[in-house]
Amino acid sequence: MSTAIEIALHEALNSIKERVVDTPDVALVLGSGLGAFAEQLEDAYEIPYSEIKGFPVSTVTGHAGKYVIGKLGNKCVIAMQGRVHYYEGYSMDQVVMPIRIMKLLGAGILVLTNAAGGISYDFNPGTLMMITDQIASFVPSPLIGPNIDSLGKRFPDMSHIYDIKLQEVLKEVAKQCDIDLKQGVYLQTTGPNYESPTEVKMYRLLGADAVGMSTACEAMAANHMGMRVAGVSVITNLACGMMDKPLNHEEVKETADKVSKQFTILIKEFIKAI
Ligand code: HPA
C-alpha cells in the first residue's frame, strides 16, 4: 500500500518527468547566496517549484526556488537553485521531497552546498569546508513515519553519509585548483534563530566544526535512497559569540558572494572529475 508521502512524491514526479529531457547524473543543491552557480550549466532549462504539483516553495531571500537542468562537461546536472528549510514551517518529508525527486529522476550522486557558521577556531569567513560527517540529532529525522520501502530500508546505516571516494576526488580537485579546502563536521539546527554563544560552545564540545539550518536532513534522506553524497559548506561568518558583533542574514549572503568565484571553480571541476 502506498503512503501519503509516496503518493505525493509520484504526483510531483509525474507532473515534471516529461519536461526533464536527459537523465540527470548529478543532483546539486545550491545554498544561500550560491545560486549563481547554475549559470555554469550549458543548454540549461528551468522548472520553477511553483509549477510542480504539491511542491514546497522557498520563502527565504537568496533562495530562487527552481530546478535548473543542464550540462557540465559530459554530465547532466539537475541543480536546486534554492531549497526549503524546516524553519519555514514545512514538515521534514516536504523539506526532503526535492532531493527524493532528483533521485527518482535518475541522479545517483548528490552534491550538497550551504552557507554555514564556523565553529572551529581554524576557520574564517570565506573558508570552504568539505563535510566529512554530520550531527543531525537536534532536528527530527526525515525518515520518521512509515518507511517508504521503494526508496530504502527502515534502519539505514549512516557510517559513511558523505561518500569516501567523492571526498578523495574533492580534495584532489581542490589541490589541483590551489584552493585551501578545510574539512569538518556539520551540525544542523532547526533555525531560524542563530545560536546562543553557549550553544555554540556545546556544539564545539560535541565535535561540530560548522553549524547551519539545512543539509544534514537532506544527506540523511539521500543516504536512505542509496545516493552517493558530497557536501561543501561556505563558512560565511564565525558562529555566535566568536565575533564581537551580531549576526545577520545580509552578511551571510555578502560573504557567500565574495567566495563565489572559488566555490564555482571547486564545484565545477569536482562535478567534471566525478
Ligand atoms: N548559524 C546557523 N546557520 C548559519 C550561520 C550560523 O552562524 N551562518 C550561515 N548559516
Q: Report how far residue 236's alpha carbon sits from residue 259's, in angstroms, rounded to the nearest whole number.
A: 9
Domain extents in the chain:
4-273
- Collapsing DSSP states into helix, strand and coil, what is residue 124? coil
pLDDT band, very low/low/confident/very high, at 245 (cuts 50, 70, 90) = confident
Residue 15's alpha-carbon distances to 21, 47, 55, 79, 151, in angstroms, are 14, 11, 10, 18, 19
| 160 labelled catalytic | no
Closest-CA residue, ligand 1 atom 2, reads: 212
Tell the CATH topology of 4-273: Rossmann fold (3.40.50)
pLDDT band, very low/low/confident/very high, at 271 (cuts 50, 70, 90) = very high
Is the Cβ–Cβ distance between 242 and 155 less than 8 Å?
Answer: no
C-alpha cell at 88: 519555514
Is there an atom of ligand 1 within 6 Å of 239 CB? yes
135 DSSP β-pair partners: 187
Residue 197 is predicted with a pLDDT of 95
Distance 27 CA to ligand 1 centre (A): 23
Picking from 20-24, 49-53, 55-59, 204-208, which range would have the lowest pLDDT averaged per residue? 55-59
Picking from 107-111, 188-192, 255-259, which range would have the lowest pLDDT averaged per residue? 255-259
**Vertex 266: Cα angle to 265 and 267 (nearest 5):** 95
pLDDT surpassing 60 at residue 62? no
pLDDT surpassing 80 at residue 64? no
pLDDT band, very low/low/confident/very high, at 207 (cuts 50, 70, 90) = very high
Residue 61 is predicted with a pLDDT of 66
CA distance between the termini of the chain: 37
C-alpha cell at 164: 569516501
Averaged confidence pLDDT in the chain: 94
Integer-rounded Cα radius of gyration of the chain: 17
Tell the residue number behind the cell numbers 508521502, with chain if given.
5
- Collapsing DSSP states into helix, strand and coil, what is residue 175? helix
pLDDT band, very low/low/confident/very high, at 250 (cuts 50, 70, 90) = confident
| 32 labelled catalytic | yes
Distance 42 CA to ligand 1 centre (A): 31
